Amino acid sequence: MNADGWTVYGELVGRDWDTLTDSQLALVAIGELRSEVNNGGFDQYFFNSGGDLAPTARATASDAGVTALVNLLDRAMAAVGSPFKIDRNERQAALAAVSAHEAFDSLDREFCDLETSVNLDTLMNSLAGNA
């Protein structure tokens, strides 16, 4: 039976992320990316805890061969600063120095377009099957 990625994500997201397996963390990383960017854009994603997992989301997309998502994440992460700040407080300070609307508006639109052209539910379902 195929696992539903969103259901498994919902079961995992509230747990201590340090206790998750690599497969579980990969699913949470993609779920957080999708949830946060679709809700409030990349500025919200990077401001909140989901942004802590941006490098994991990027690595997961790369491993899955979702090149368009890798490229988009590279540009979004670079807009926050290089090197990317995994620490939330440091990242929030970096975000304060960035004009979020100017930096992320076009990237937010690209993400919405990507979600209509790439079936990220299939990726999440696959990750859930390994979680």
* Band of residue 103 on the pLDDT scale cut at 50, 70, 90: confident
Token output for 116: 């209509």
In sequence order, what are the residues at sequence separation of 6 or more whose Cβ sits closer than 8 angstroms to the Cβ of residue 13? 28, 31, 32
CA triplet 1, 19, 122: central angle to 5 degrees? 30
pTM of the model: 0.94
What CA–CA distance (Å, rounded) separates 129 from 131? 6
pLDDT (tens digit per residue) in 73-89: 999 999 998 899 999 99
